[in-house]
Copies of this chain bind each other. A is one copy, B any other.
Amino acid sequence: MTTPTISNYLSEHRESHLNELKELLSIPSVSALPMHNQDTIRAAEWMAASLRKLGMENVTLYPTNGQPVVYGEWLKATDKPTVLIYGHYDVQPVDPLNLWDSAPFEPEIRDERIFARGASDDKGQTFMHIKALEAILESTGSLPFNFKFCIEGEEEIGSPNLPRFVSENKDLLAADVIVISDTSMMEEDKPTICYGLRGMCGFQLDVKGPKRDLHSGLYGGAIANPIHAVVELLQSFRNADGVITVEGFYDKVAVLSEEEKQAFKALDFNENAIKDEVGVSEFFGEKGYSFYERVWVRPTLEVNGVYGGFQGDGIKTVLPSEAHAKITCRLVPDQDPDEILELLQNHVAKNAPPGVEVSVSLFDKGAPFVTPFDHPAIQAASRAYEKVWEVPTAFTRGGGSLPIVSTLDEELQAPIVLMGFGLPSDNVHAPNENFKLKNFDKGLLTLCTYWDELSAVMNVK
C-alpha cells in the first residue's frame, strides 16, 4: 500500500479531482466528427494545462495531419528510468443519443458512477495518471522516475497519424517502460493485467468472372461462377476443424509457457455466461485448446464479409460477374504480418480456380505484442493491484489488436504494461458510458503503489 500521506492527499482532493474530471468530460472531443474539431483541440489544451499544473515541463501540442499530440515531461529523477504514459483525449461519437439517461457531455454522478462519454475510455483513465503523479509530487516533493506523457486525439478513429509521430520522435518518447490505462478489468474486484495482444493482417479477395451478370439458366454449367470460386478459395484456407491450411501459417507460432497456461486456467472461466452472452449453444475452434487459448494465443483466419450476386427477397437466377470476401487474420508471437501476407498471397495464387480472375488487396497490418509474463514491470503491476484490491491479479491476453500498442512496441522497444481500471459494465463506445467511482479511487491508489513497487525492482536506468 502506498504511504498514508499520499492516500490522505487523494481523499482530501477527491471532490476537486472529480470536478476537474467533469470539466474535461464536458468537452465533446469526438474525433470522428469534423464539427467537433474545435472541441477536440480544446480537450488537448485542457490536457496540456493539466500537465503544466502538475509540474510537467516542455508541455507542447505537437501538430500532426490530424489532431495534435499532447506531450509533457518531468525529467528530474536523475539516473532513474523513464516511464512513458500513453492516453487519448478524444472520444467516440454518442449516437444513439436517445438511449442516454443523461446528456453525454453533461457529466452526472449517480449510483456511485460518473456518467459521460469518455468517463472510462479514455479521459477518465488518462486523468487518473495525472492525479496519481500530482498526489506523489505534492506529498513527497518528488517522483521516483522520469515521466513522459503522450496523449493523442485520434485513437477512436484508428490513430492514423500517431505511428508517424512516434517514428519521427523516438528520442523524445524514449522510455524504459510504457504504461497505458485504456483497458478493462475482467470483472468487478478482479484486477487484470493484459500482457499481450494479437496482431492483425487483413485483405480483400476479389473474383471477376464474365464481364456482366449472366442468366444462370442460359450459362450455368459452362461458365465459371465467381461465387463458386470465392467459396472454393475461402474453403481452401481452413479445414473442417477450423485449422488454417495455409502452408507455413503456424511455423512461427510461439508455444505458451507452462506458467501462462496455469495463469489462464486460474481465471474463472464461466463457459455458460459466455455462451449466453453471445447466444451460441457450443463453442467451435481448434481441438486441444481452451477458449482463452483460442482467442488469445492462437492465430485465426476469419472471413469478415462475403458478397456477390443477388441478396434481395426471393430468387434471381443470376450468374454474377463478380464476388468478394473480406478476411482478417489475428496473429500471435512470433508471427510476422508481412510474412503471413506473403503466405496468404502465395496460397491464393496457387489455389485460384480456373475461368476467373482473382486479385488480393491488402489492408492494415499490425504485429502481435507481448510483454514477457515474468517481466519485472508486469509482476510489479500485479503486486500493486493485489495490495490495493486484496485479491490475486488475473493475467490475461487480448484477442483483438490495438494498433498503437504495436507501434509503441516496435518503435520504442520498451515493455508495455496495460493497467486498465475500466469494467465490462462501463458501456464504452455505447450509450451511458460511465466509470465506477470505486475503480477511480482504487485505481489512483494502485497507480501510486505501482510506482513504488516498480522503483523497488527497476531503480537504475
Contact = CB atoms under 8 A, between A and B. Distances in A.
A294 B221 contact: yes
A314 to B, nearest CB: 6
A354 B281 CA distance: 10
Given A228-B238, A238-B228, A222 B326 contact: no
Given A210-B279, A222-B285, A328-B315, A200 B228 contact: no
- Report the 10 A-B pairs with minimum CB-CB distance, sorted nearest first: A211-B279, A217-B400, A284-B355, A305-B309, A224-B284, A305-B310, A235-B235, A221-B300, A222-B294, A210-B278
A230 interface: yes
Contacts of A217: 198, 200, 330, 398-401
A324 B315 CA distance: 12
Nearest to A303: B227
A337 interface: no
9 contacts: A202-B317, A212-B279, A218-B398, A220-B330, A222-B284, A281-B355, A304-B319, A305-B311, A317-B400
Given A210-B278, A309-B303, A317-B304, A354 B284 contact: yes
A286 interface: yes
Contacts of A399: 215, 217-221
A201 to B, nearest CB: 10
Nearest to A224: B284
A223 B280 contact: yes
Contacts of A200: 217, 317
Interface string A308-330: 11110011111110011010101
A223 to B, nearest CB: 6
Nearest to A283: B222
A355 B235 contact: no
Work out how many copies of this chain go into the complex. Answer: 2
Nearest to A285: B222
A354 B282 CA distance: 8
B308 A278 contact: no
Contacts of A320: 304-305
A232 interface: yes
Given A309-B306, A400-B218, A223 B284 contact: yes
A374 interface: no
Given A305-B311, A328-B315, A280 B355 contact: yes
Given A210-B278, A210-B279, 6 more contacts: A198-B217, A200-B217, A282-B354, A283-B355, A304-B309, A305-B310
A82 to B, nearest CB: 31
A374 to B, nearest CB: 25
Contacts of A326: 309-311, 315-316
